[in-house]
Amino acid sequence: MMDAVFLNTSRNSPLLIYQSYSYIRDGSYKNKTYWKCEKSRNPKIKCHARIHTDSVTNEVLFVSGEIHQHGENTSELEIRKFYNDLRQCSTTDELLSDFVTSSTSKFSVEAREKLTKIKHIKQLVHYHRKKKTKDFPLEQSKTLKDDKFLYYDSGEELEHRLMIFSTDKKLNLLKDSLDFHMDSSQKSVPDLFAKFCILYVNHQGHFTPVLFALLENKSCYDLLFRQILVLIPNWNPLLFISDFESESIGCVKNIFPEINVSGLHFHYKQVIMREFEARKNEAQPDASGNMHKFIQLACIPRQEVIEGFCQLELENKAYVQFLTYFHQTFVSAQAIFPIDFWNIHDSPIDSLKTSNDIEYWHDFFQNSMNDKDYTSLQLFTQKLQELERLSNTTFPQATNELSK
């Protein structure tokens, strides 16, 4: 007789698939395992079809003469096998995109229509990988030069996982710097985490990355900075150049009460362009040119910003949602980011130079991480080791090496 396919149910109980029907285990005796139709428990169907298999070879030994009291459900079984294989994939380093492509290539049209959205599949992989993550490989806790790289891992036993990567040299740069910038991203991060953060300091006239961190969620910011203080006990920065994330700003101010905080012009531009596009609709005229006028408000004298905003309000009356957002976020007396936070008129050269440095590294890391699916922690840290090596070079050298 033909071979049966053995899977597991969502509760990890044995499930047998044979000739487009599913069976659940109903006991065993000596070298035989007994199976009954999965629909036998359905009070409206009570299917009595049964199968016996060899407990050692899994060969089908007997098929009852009972006819199934229900039709085949091939597409449902295809999907069940997919999710069974997905749980196995979650314990390996196989790229999720590769797995989905190979597993669904032979799907029936009906099965494809029933398959859940890819974001829900990713959430399921995240769940299983979080439960079954292997110990972090020793070789990835060091740089490519065999120096210490992983400086802190809170481990899976804590509610909010945090991992910190750096080197002795770069921690010393952070310790000696009076100001620092943090750039965070939610793209191309491993399944276990929600954010990838990079800390930068000014070194030899340019801002350079000195510390990398993976955060399970925003609640990890406090743990991140307190753990940095464990690594650098006397660290006392005077200026935090922020990426316009209120959670990190509040955390830094809480830990360093005397610190000054300002926004980076590069991130100000990003926020304006993103929010402008999100709040316009197709019926509104193209005012992208005026969008850049909102960006230029950061470069005029601070006392002229409100007057400049009022003029832009008159020119962009159709963009009510964006104007409301901009006023509440950047201009009003209760603004989340007050004018002094984002206006660079008093130090345009230094501010734009810093912004250009950070924009370079931001694009450098984003482009590097976008070439593959780095949902696996091991694959991500392998790439991070390479990026750490390249971050020790000058800007042109890093760009040239990255393109090889």
Average pLDDT in the 320-344 region?
A: 91
5-130 in CATH: which number? Answer: 2.20.25.240
For the chain, give the percent of residues with pLDDT over 70. Answer: 77
User: Across the beta sheet with 21-29, what order do the strands follow?
Assistant: 5-8, 14-18, 21-29, 32-37, 50-54, 60-63
Above 90 in pLDDT, residue 46?
no
Pairing of the two strands 179-185 and 32-37: unpaired
Indicate the pLDDT class of residue 403, thresholds 50, 70 and 90.
very low
- Residue 378 neighbours by CB distance under 10 Å: 17
What pLDDT is stored for residue 390 in this prediction?
83
- Residue 105 neighbours by CB distance under 10 Å: 7
Answer whether 97's CB lies under 8 Å from 373's CB. yes
What pLDDT is stored for residue 118 in this prediction?
55
Q: Report which of residues 101 and 135 the model is more confident about.
A: 101
Average pLDDT in the 320-328 region?
A: 90
What pLDDT is stored for residue 218 in this prediction?
80
Average pLDDT in the 131-135 region?
A: 49
What pLDDT is stored for residue 350 in this prediction?
66
Average pLDDT in the 65-87 region?
A: 77
Question: Bridge-partner residues for 197, per DSSP?
Answer: 184, 213
Above 80 in pLDDT, residue 216?
yes
Indicate the pLDDT class of residue 190, thresholds 50, 70 and 90.
confident
What pLDDT is stored for residue 267 in this prediction?
87
Q: Where does CATH 2.20.25.240 sit in the chain?
A: 5-130
Task: Kindly report, residue by residue over 139-185, the tens digit of the pLDDT.
Answer: 778 999 999 999 998 876 556 789 999 999 999 999 999 899 998 88
What pLDDT is stored for residue 169 in this prediction?
93
What pLDDT is stored for residue 321 in this prediction?
86
- CA 7 to chain CA mean position, Å: 30
Write out the H or E segment, with its range, that includes residue 377. Answer: helix 377-390
Residues contacting 298, CB < 8 A, separation 6+: 265, 268, 342, 343, 344, 345
Task: Kindly report, residue by residue over 224-279, the tens digit of the pLDDT.
Answer: 999 999 999 889 999 999 889 889 999 999 999 999 999 888 889 889 988 888 87
Above 80 in pLDDT, residue 3?
no
Indicate the pLDDT class of residue 311, thresholds 50, 70 and 90.
very high
Mean pLDDT across the chain, nearest whole number?
80
Q: Which DSSP string corresponds to 86-139? A: HHHHTTS---HHHHHHHHHTT--HHHHHHSPPHHHHHHHHHHHHHHHPPPPPGG
Indicate the pLDDT class of residue 386, thresholds 50, 70 and 90.
confident
Above 70 in pLDDT, residue 285?
no
Above 90 in pLDDT, residue 44?
no
Average pLDDT in the 329-335 region?
A: 93
